[in-house]
Structure formats: C-alpha cells, structure tokens
A and B are shown apart, each in its own frame.
Chain A
Amino acid sequence: MNAGDLVDTGGSVNAGGSVNAPVLSVTSLVKKFGHFTAVDDVSFELMPGASLGIVGESGSGKTTTARILAGLEQPTSGTVALDGEVIEGHSRRARLRHARRLQMIFQDPYSSFDPRQTIARSIAEPLRLHAPGSRKEHQARVDELLDQVGLSRRAGESLPRDLSGGQRQRAAIARALGIAPRVLVLDEAVAALDVSIQAQILTLLDQLRRDTGISYVFVSHDLAVVRYITDTSIVMRHGRIVERGETEQILRGPQHPYTRLLLDSIPSPDWDLDRVVQDRRALDLR
C-alpha cells in the first residue's frame, strides 16, 4: 500500500465543501523499540465526523499507533497532524494543545481513574485544565455530561470502585467529551464489557457521534464491533497496514489473505475450522 490509496479511503466520507479537510492525518508513522519495529509506515486520514477502525491482533501495532496519536509515545519518524497542524514537541503547552483536540479511552476504565476521587471530580479535571470557569460552571457542565452518558448524579458522587465496568466506561467517555475534543481514540474500549453492557456503550458512542460530529479512531480486535461502529477501516499485521477501505467492503470481499484469515476465524454456526487452516497456510506461503 502506498500513500496514494489514502485519498480513496477519506474520499468516501467527505461531505464536500469546507469540511473537506481531514481532522486527523497520519503520515508514514514508524515506531521502533530497539531493533523491533512496532509500527511500520502507517498512514491514514480521518474526516470530521467519521469513524475509522484499526483492526489487528496482539503485536499488530494497533495499540502503539493509538498511543502515538494520543501523544503517549513519540514516533521514531512520521507525523501526526490535527486540523492540518503537525504535532511537535512535548512541552506542557504542546501536550495541552494536543489533548484539547484529541482524547483517548482505554480498555480498563478502572486503572484510568484516580481511585480516591469521586467520578464527578475526575470528570471535572480536564475542564479545570482546559476550560477556565468558576466551580459552579464546571459543576453544571459535569451534570450535563453525566446526563449525556446516562449516569445518575449519585453515580457521579461515587468512587470508581463503587461503579460497575460499564458505568466506569461511561464515566471515561464523559470525562473525554467534557472539553469537546475533535477526535476520540478508543483502544479496545468495549472489549472487557459484558455483551449487554457492550451494546449500551456502542449505541451511546453511535448517538454521541451523530449528536456532536466528533470523530472516532476505534482500535479493536473484534470485527463485529468494528463493523457496527466504523465507516472505514485499516487492518494491521506486524506493524504494517495490509488492507484498507470501507469496513463493509472489507468484510464482504477481503482482499488480503490475513483479512480472510481473521474473518474465517470468527465463530459462526457454520464455522469451518479447516478453512482457517487453509487460510493460515495461504498466508504463510506469501
């Protein structure tokens, strides 16, 4: 794949006119840990209000890519641009500017909350950092946010340990949305949740995107979830992008043998394990 393919992917979600500029563009991203290349020449674009899936298994480089987007890792080479502005440096000011526009949600919402602070206080923290205002104004905004993600005010007064996994993930979303970022990076955000709760969070995310026009980068190993929540996707393996395009098209007609292997590996009533073995062989032959 080369950079020329990028235009294609982005084009399908363009609404035309002034929103034609991508809100996030990633160019030739490389991340090396010693001799190991975790992310190898990854490029993609995300349009305002669009949702992009990054699909892969462990070791594919999908989480490292997400962490670079959020500024938690520095790329070895390549650039990340938000609203056309390349992210540079990691001074406090640069990081604040970055975080103002891009927020991240992690798989385990427990380890991303201060266990001694109430949920409401945690949600107010980014507001205090980014949005100057009185305590009262912040409190009002927190109440609004809690309501938006379907949490009661009582839940807001609780400590993280008193909430269930689904409630904590709602709180994490509320905290990220508080400063109205342009992009939300979600790293396996629903992977640890029960099916019934996962559906609640997915429908909430869907609703929020429609209401606010926020963009998602949705990192996941779960193709069914990615199908539900994204428009376009990239499939990563060993740090490289092996396939990209509209999510629906990738699922219906996978071009790369690895994507085919991923799809055939998903259990279904007519699951054919022999086909998985064949796919694996086809992939190894390449």
Chain B
Amino acid sequence: MLAKKTLARKGTPDGRAEDRRDALGISGLSLAVGTGERAIPLLADVTVRVGRGETVGLVGESGSGKSLTARAALGMLPRGARATGGVTVADVDVLAAGRRQLRDLRRTRASMIFQDPRASINPVRRIGDYLTEGLRARGVPARAAAERARDLLDQVGIRDPKGAMRRFPHEFSGGMLQRVVIAGALSTEPELLLADEPTTALDVTTQAEVVGLLKDMQRVHGTGMLFVTHDLDLAAAICDRVYVMYAGRIVEEAASASLFAAPAHPYTRALLEASPSVHGEKAEIKAITGRPRALAESPSGCSFRDRCPLAGDECAGTVPAHRPHGTSLVACVRPEQVTP
C-alpha cells in the first residue's frame, strides 16, 4: 500500500506506523442529555470503525446524529451529556480521558475540519500563526515550524506560501481558506482526520479540488478519515465504506460501491430515489413522506417505520438488530424486500 510505504519512508517520530490498530473505534456509543424521566436520547448504539488510511463516510440528514458522532470521537460532547459505550482514537480511551489527555489527543493524534473555515480560524491572527500553533505546542522550534507550515501551504496549493503566512483569513476566498485549514489539520501528522461537511459551503468546482486535495494528503500521510456528509454521491465517490445514519442510529453499513448499487435499508433506498442525478437517463424522483427525525422524537421499534413504505407490525416492537444482507450490515427486518 502506498500509504504504508510513504509513512515508512518518512518515519513517524515515535514509530506509530508500526502497529495496525484502527484510527477510530466507536462501539455501542449511546448519548443522552438530562436525567431520569426527562432524559433526551441523542445517539443509540452507534458503532463506527475507521481503519488506518481508510476513508469512511457517515451519511445522514439533519438530526441523524452524524456530527455528534464525529465530535464524540474527539470527546466533544454536548453540555451535560452522558455517554455509554466505547470511543477509542489510536489507543486513547476518549470517554475516560481527562482534559489534559484530550488536549494532547486533539493536538497530535486527531484533527477536525468543519464546514465553514471562517468559523474555525481566528480572524485577527495571521495564517502563519494559525499553522505553527499546533507545531509549537508540540515543542517544534519556531523556525522549523515556520518552514513546515510553508511546506504544507505549498502542498495544499497555495501560491506564494511565504507571503500567505503573513496574510489574514479575510484575504482568502472560502476555498483557499479551507485549504489552509486542511494544511493546519494535517500539520501534526494526525492518525485520524474528522471532516464534518468540509466542502458543503464551497462551489462544485472548488469542492472537487478540495476533495482531490484531501484524498491526496490522506494518501501521503496515511491518515484515516471520517467524512461526514449529507451528500450521498460525494460519499460514494470518495469513501471506501459508508455508514448511513437515521435518527441517532446506524441503519446500514456497506462498501460504498455496493451501497449505491444495492441498498439494503429502506431509508438508504429512499434517499437514493429522492436524489435527482445528472448521470444516466433522466428519472423521476420519489419524495419520502414526513421529515427526518431526531432520536428523541422517533417512534418505538424501527425509527424509520413511520416513513417507510415497507413497514409492518413487526417493525414496531423492538429496534431491529444489525444483520448481514448482501455486502451490507443492515438494521431492517426485511432487507430482502428492499433489494432482492
């Protein structure tokens, strides 16, 4: 694998490239705010794995809990939230970690990029300061940090990296600033990159460039990436595996190629049928009735059953367990009716 080779050649400071553990392991994660009767559940039994160098998509509509899941990986939980289950990044137990350990984790092992680069970068500080901050905190000398930052800017396609170091965020367009943020996120050679809708605010042509850049950088650095998006086509295009979320639960997991050719969950299929496409013959789109729900307002049993055309009595009793169907792992009692 190219990723491994590159890593071995470059060598990581503490020989982290040697072991083969996952970049991210979330298992049976449940999240709720409030206590007792008034507890509001946010996530239920979420299991997500990202291997080293792997790109994994987390797809869902608003309220599905995809951003919450990504944030939980860095120990960023909503105020007053209680979490059960396990979250491991590299070998750090995130849920049990103290503030100091979390800070170290975010500084060195895992980075996150968000939808709006302007919201995640301090507008009154220069790009150079932003990029060297993480490196300096790790104890890299100022001069070496600046050199590394210029290298990174060059890698992400910023013209005149030296000049860019002295400029302020407002002097960059959205696409260019997102490149700077990506450079910053990768400056510490993280094992895990959490990308929460990183291209949603960008123009289509810029999106293509930024995604290309992300994939290249990921390949070179061997980073595992969790890519959170509402865009099914985008997930299909860049991810190795995709998790589909609905109402705070994972409803389907599959290799992205087969997910789109043969969806196993009625929700996945409904999403695909609701999306207009520029490819192939012009097809009718089918709207899904109702609206996407959060976990707290979803019906008992299968959360999707009030919008599902296939729902029957057996869907109401218990939450369907994940079962294999085709190449998918799906939480539906009758996946054979979705794609035979």
A residues near B (Cβ < 8 Å) are 57-58, 164, 166, 194-200, 202-203, 221, 223-225, 227-228, 248, 251, 261-269, 271, 273, 276-277, 280
Contact = CB atoms under 8 A, between A and B. Distances in A.
Nearest to A264: B208
Nearest to B62: A194
Closest 6 CB pairs of A and B: A199-B274, A267-B237, A196-B288, A271-B237, A57-B203, A199-B287
Given A221-B204, A228-B285, A195 B211 contact: no
B212 interface: yes
A232 to B, nearest CB: 14
Given A194-B230, A227-B278, A268-B236, 8 more contacts: A195-B230, A195-B271, A195-B274, A196-B271, A196-B292, A196-B307, A267-B237, A280-B209
B205 A195 contact: no
A262 B209 CA distance: 12
8 contacts: A58-B203, A194-B292, A203-B287, A224-B276, A262-B205, A265-B205, A265-B207, A273-B211
Given A194-B61, A196-B271, A269-B236, A280 B205 contact: yes
Given A57-B204, A194-B230, A196-B292, A267 B276 contact: no
A202 B292 CA distance: 17
Contacts of A271: 237-238
Contacts of B256: 269
B260 interface: yes
B237 A268 contact: yes
Given A57-B205, A224-B276, A267 B288 contact: no
A269 B286 CA distance: 21
Contacts of A262: 204-205
A106 to B, nearest CB: 18
Nearest to B175: A58
A221 B278 CA distance: 13
A166 B292 CA distance: 11
B204 A265 contact: yes
Interface string B226-247: 0000111110111000000000
B79 interface: no
B72 interface: no
